[in-house]
């Protein structure tokens, strides 16, 4: 892939250096920054098509872990395009979705079941009996049994070959909200306030967002043989920084990916904006001090050591305090 030209038009934000390269010392999980959304979607679709072809040839089936939300929509569109062009066959693909709101009628327009059929399954040749989505219509007294059956079905399918993940602003993967343990399994959870607030628009108001959900656990997710976490947009930048550069902690379930041998985080430039290699690259390696980068560094330094209001902003950032001599 060619290095992007990150120069900006006059009057726009100061230019940043290309972000595909650079030292990654602070990143604790493999992280790829892809400036163009089309490239990101094609790259992920390529990877999925490869895994589907490889696993169906090798053992007659491929097991995918799938996510909902706005992030994977472009990837699903690209997969549909590939299918229509004869580039991928879903007839031996088995799918397991990460989560579903609870309670949720499966035919509700808000259900993740409906989302998956509308945005992917209706348009490819997946067999309905190979599709698994937690059932938000299960009576409460049968939930524990349903969750255990979901885990068994994943194991009986031979485990997940490739798991797609988004990340919530609470740091959740699936609906594993802050406090989820690394050993957690498919279960009923209470949704975080941040998550319900974020989902408010989809439900015509936060009050209509279900308070609970069924989700695969962190341990269920980490058993996938390959994992791709995808995040786009500046609203994800802060939580992505915690997940990629922060300590592994139940406070940010996505940070558990740091312990996985084959997990990759795919970001657009906006979601990568708080990573050290993008935000403060001079902390990692010598940089070419263009006037624009110098200006960025001076503002950053002022934020580190400046006025009380800037101190307040600093306390919400995990960037380390650095003396002028470091720059
Ligand atoms: C929901 C889903 C998650 C998803 C997250 C991010 O909470 N349960 O699996 O990753 O939303 O959504 P979006 O991609 O719309 O930002």
What per-residue string of b and e applies to 233-270 under the rule 16 or more CB within 10 Å gives b?
A: eeebbbbbbbbbbbebebebbbbbbbebeebbbbbbbb
Kind and range of the H or E element at 230?
Answer: strand 226-231
Q: Tell me which range, 218-222, 276-280, 310-314, is most confidently predicted by mean pLDDT.
A: 218-222
Of 7-11, 210-214, 231-235, minimum mean pLDDT range: 7-11
**pLDDT at residue 24, as a whole number:** 87
Look at residue 258 and tell me whether its pLDDT is greater than 80. yes
Look at residue 322 and tell me whether its pLDDT is greater than 80. no
Domain locations in the chain as residue ranges: 2-280, 288-315
Which residues approach ligand 1 with their CB closer than 6 A? 67-71, 98-99, 166-168, 174-175, 195
**pLDDT at residue 20, as a whole number:** 61
CA of 237 to the centre of ligand 1 (A): 15
Query: Ligand 1 atom 5: the closest Cα is on which residue?
Result: 168
pLDDT, tens only, 130-188:
999 999 999 999 999 999 999 999 999 999 999 999 999 999 999 999 999 999 999 99
Tokens 């996938």, located at residue: 224
CA distance 12 to 245: 28
**Mutate which of 112, 134, 172, 235 for ligand 1 pocket (most atoms within 8 A of beta carbon):** 172
CA distance 272 to 173: 18
Residue 9 dihedral angles phi and psi, to the nearest 5° = -65, 155
Look at residue 17 and tell me whether its pLDDT is greater than 50. no
Banded model confidence at residue 58, pLDDT cuts 50, 70, 90? very high
Q: What's the rounded mean pLDDT across residues 11-15?
A: 41
CA distance 8 to 324: 27
Q: Is 162 helix (H, G, I), strand (E, B) or coil?
A: strand
Q: What's the rounded mean pLDDT across residues 13-41?
A: 78
Q: Tell me which range, 227-231, 289-293, 307-311, is most confidently predicted by mean pLDDT.
A: 227-231
Mean pLDDT taken over the chain: 90
CA distance 239 to 161: 26
CATH number of this structure's domain 2-280: 3.40.50.1360
**pLDDT at residue 23, as a whole number:** 81
**pLDDT at residue 229, as a whole number:** 98
**pLDDT at residue 324, as a whole number:** 29
Sign of CA dihedral 184, 192, 113, 161: negative
Go through the chain and tell me how many residues it has.
327
Half-sphere exposure in the Cβ direction for 272 (13 Å, CA): 27
The burial of 34, by beta-carbon neighbours within 10 Å (0-12 exposed, 13-18 middle, 19 or more buried), is given as buried
Tell me the percentage of the chain whose pLDDT exceeds 90.
Answer: 84
**pLDDT at residue 27, as a whole number:** 95
Look at residue 319 and tell me whether its pLDDT is greater than 60. no
CA distance 103 to 211: 8
> What is the distance of C-alpha 125 from the center of its chain?
26
CA of 289 to the centre of ligand 1 (A): 38
pLDDT, tens only, 205-220:
999 999 999 999 999 9
| More confident call, 2 vs 232 | 232
């Amino acid at each position: 892939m060619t290095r992007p030209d990150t120069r900006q038009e006059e009057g726009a934000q100061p230019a940043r250096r290309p972000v595909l390269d650079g030292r990654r010392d602070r990143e604790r999980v493999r992280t790829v920054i892809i400036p163009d959304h089309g490239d990101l979607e094609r790259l992920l679709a390529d990877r999925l098509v490869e895994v589907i072809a490889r696993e169906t040839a090798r053992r007659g089936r491929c097991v995918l872990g799938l996510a909902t939300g706005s992030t994977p929509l472009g990837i699903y569109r690209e997969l549909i395009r590939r299918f229509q062009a004869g580039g991928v066959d879903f007839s031996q693909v088995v799918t397991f979705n990460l989560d579903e709101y609870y309670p949720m009628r499966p035919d509700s327009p808000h259900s993740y079941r409906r989302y998956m059929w509308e945005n992917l399954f209706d348009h490819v040749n997946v067999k309905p009996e190979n599709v698994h989505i937690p059932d938000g219509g299960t009576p409460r007294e049968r939930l524990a049994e349903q969750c255990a059956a979901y885990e068994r079905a994943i194991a009986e399918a031979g485990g997940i070959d490739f798991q797609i993940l988004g990340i919530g602003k609470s740091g959740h993967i699936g609906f594993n909200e802050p406090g989820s343990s690394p050993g957690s399994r498919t279960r009923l959870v209470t949704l975080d306030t941040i998550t319900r607030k974020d989902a408010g628009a989809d439900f015509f108001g936060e009050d209509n967002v279900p308070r609970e959900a069924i989700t695969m656990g962190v341990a269920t997710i980490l058993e996938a043989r390959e994992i791709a976490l995808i995040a786009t947009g500046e609203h994800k930048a802060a939580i992505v920084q915690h997940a990629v550069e922060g300590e592994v902690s139940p406070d940010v379930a996505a940070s558990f990916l740091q312990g996985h041998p084959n997990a990759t985080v795919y970001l657009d430039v906006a979601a990568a904006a708080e990573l050290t290699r993008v935000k403060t690259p001079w902390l990692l390696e010598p940089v070419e001090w263009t006037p624009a980068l110098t200006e960025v560094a001076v503002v950053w330094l002022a934020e580190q050591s400046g006025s009380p209001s800037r101190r307040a902003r600093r306390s919400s950032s995990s960037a380390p305090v650095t003396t002028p001599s470091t720059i």
